[in-house]
Amino acid sequence: MSLVPGVLAVLQLGRIHPDEVFQSLEPAWWRVHGYGVLAWEWREGLRNWAAPGVLAAFLKLAEVLGITNPRIYRGVVAVPQFALHAWSLWAVYRFAARRAGPWGGALAVLLLGLSGPVLLFAGRTLSESFSASFLLVAMEALDRPVTGQAAQVRRAGLVGGLALGLAVVTRYPSALFVVAALVWLAVARRWRLLAFTVLGGAGVAVGLGLLDWGTWGTPFHSFLAYLRYNVISGEAAAAFGASPPDFYRQPLLRAVPLWAWAALPLSVGPLLRLRALSLPLTCAVVYTAVLLITPHKEERFLYPGLVVGLLAAAAQLAVAITRLSRPGMRGGVAVLALGLGFVHATGFPSQDLRADQFRAIVRATRGDATGLLIVNEGLWGSGGFFYVGRNIPWRTCDWPHDAAFQASIRDRAFNRAVTFEGRALTELQSAGFHVVRQVGRETILARD
């Protein structure tokens, strides 16, 4: 099952958000090939090179193997993310199996792993995707019983701290989960586990400091720059806009699977008996509450909190189903719950993936292509050099009267074009282009 999101992402292509390309894939391409489009965050030092560095290693492997087709080396780059997702689903199984047994653990994996948001996000090279997987690992590790041997507690704390630290390295806002988890451990008086969690996280922090020192010249440069820009100065909200708390109402309604809503009443009993909230539910609530009051909002920001919340819900529902007396009823309710996960599995996030455009770009730049014009897409919505796959010139524009369009028409090196829904098709054909192929809404053109 852990293969499914990665396979979907590679076959479908497209992007949930430009960051999927320009904060992960394009920096990795730049590291390997020495050219590419580096977003402003990479010029200002608001990002660290951990995730792009790992992707670059696999991209380099693809180059060594002679793989030059973007669709194929995108599959190679997906290998570490597949391994991470598999680790996170194993954590989901262990978390739920402690409460509902092996059968319930397997059911929880199916419930979470086949939910619409996870199928879409888990194979995508977004910081939210990387971070959410590490958070699932951390939740399971820190949930382990504290009554075991000292070595088991030590291992759980170190793994939990390591995973929390990596969740932050891949996405700095996930520091909210770290704060919530540490407070939860303190309130629960799990002091030994807390100590080793801090130790494990501190090891990751040292690694981040050294990485930033080696790449930006100052320890923790990227973290501090990110904090100044997004939290202290308010520049992020000024540059990218601010939204009221109800911005997230519709995205949440679309994102949460129906079976997860069914788990809500099952959580009321423990609360009424004054039993402690589960760790993942606590972390998900704290994270989402802070999102609501943070000025700049985007749908994708919900994903880490959503996945951690689904962990708690899936385990709770698995417990309720396994307690049903008749096997036939257990199976029927389980199948019903899984089916409810697909009832409204689309619509989150609401942005157009533009998957057909990316597939068209890959096709257009094969063979004797020497230059590419992409009509109706700005730079940050394009696939970058990663999906062009070659060091050839390319431009983006919206209309035939745009300067980039006119310059490309005059330059005979631009012998390929990709246009959306036939925009500027007449003007392209007048300039000597002819239609080669239709890919969804995109038309590929070429000229001699």
What is the pLDDT averaged over residues 306-313? Answer: 93
Classify residue 348: in a domain, yes or no.
no
Domain edge (last residue) among 279, 308, 340 = 340
Alpha-carbon span 186 to 204, nearest angstrom: 21
Of the listed ranges 12-26, 179-193, 220-234, 402-416, the one predicted with least confidence: 220-234
**Mean pLDDT value across the chain:** 89
This prediction has a pTM of: 0.91
- The tally of domains found in the chain comes to 2
d(CA 47, CA 362): 28
In a shared domain, residues 303 and 379: no
Residue 423 makes CB contacts below 8 A (sequence gap 6+) with 375, 376, 398, 399
CA 362 to the chain's CA centroid:
22
Helices vs strands, H then E, count in the chain = 23, 5
d(CA 24, CA 18): 10
Q: Report the C-alpha gap between 445 and 376 in whole angstroms.
A: 14
Q: State how far Cα 147 lies from the chain centre.
A: 35
Same-domain check for residues 273 and 322: yes
- Tell me how far apart the alpha carbons of residues 160 and 193 are, in angstroms, rounded to a whole number: 9
Do both 132 and 258 map to the same domain?
yes
Q: Which two tokens stand for residue 347?
A: 């619509």
Residue 299 resides in a domain: yes
Are residues 331 and 382 located together in one domain of the fold?
no
pLDDT top residue among 260 and 197: 197
Per the listing, tokens 């972390």 go with 283
179/278 same-domain check: yes
Q: Could you tell me if 215 and 294 lie in one domain?
A: yes
Q: What's the DSSP call for residue 228?
A: I
396 shares its domain with 308:
no
* Nearest alpha-carbon partner for 184 in 89, 279, 114: 279
- For residue 345, what pLDDT is reported? 60
Residue 291 has pLDDT above 60, yes or no: yes
Contact 84, 130 (CB under 8 A): yes
Residue 417 domain flag? yes
* pLDDT tops 80 at residue 444: yes
Question: Taken in order 21, 238, 46, 50, is the CA torsion positive or negative?
Answer: negative
Q: Is residue 186 part of a domain?
A: yes
pLDDT at res. 272: 46
Both 86 and 109 in one domain: the answer is: yes
For residues 222-227, average pLDDT: 91
Stronger pLDDT, 233 or 226, i.e. the higher one: 226
Predicted local distance difference test score (pLDDT) of residue 303: 94
Residue 439 domain boundaries: 355-446
Does the structure show a pLDDT above 80 at 182? yes
Q: Is the pLDDT of residue 230 over 50?
A: yes
Split at pLDDT 50, 70, 90, the class of 40 is confident
Q: Out of 166-175, 212-221, 338-347, pick the least confident.
A: 338-347
Local structure of 326: helix, strand or coil: coil
346 belongs to a structural domain: no
Tokens of 156: 């759980």
Laid out side by side, the sheet with 416-420 consists of 394-397, 372-375, 416-420, 442-446, 434-439
Query: Which of 78, 81, 71 has its CA nearest to residue 14?
Result: 71
Residue 316 lies in a domain: yes
pLDDT band of residue 304 (cuts 50, 70, 90) is very high
Q: pLDDT tens digits, residue range 346-403?
A: 678 877 888 899 999 999 999 899 999 999 888 888 889 999 999 999 999 999 999 9
Last-in-domain residue among 289, 308, 340: 340
Cβ contacts of residue 67 below 8 Å, gap of 6+?
Answer: 73, 76
- Asked if residue 232 and residue 83 are part of one domain, the reply reads yes
Please report which confidence band the pLDDT of residue 94 belongs to, taking 50, 70 and 90 as the band edges.
very high
Residue ending a domain, among 340, 371, 388, is 340
Number of C-beta neighbours around residue 382 at 10 A: 27
Predicted pLDDT at 266: 65
**CA dihedral angle for residue 164, residue 170, residue 176, residue 180, rounded to 10 degrees:** -10
Q: Flag whether 369 is in a domain.
A: yes
HEC secondary structure over 37-71? CCCHHHHHCCCCCHHHHHHHHHHHHHHHCCCCCHH
Q: Are residues 82 and 121 in the same domain?
A: yes
Largest CA distance in the chain: 77
435 is a domain residue: yes
Same domain, 301 and 396: no
- Are both 260 and 359 inside the same structural domain? no
Distance CA 143, CA 166 (A): 18
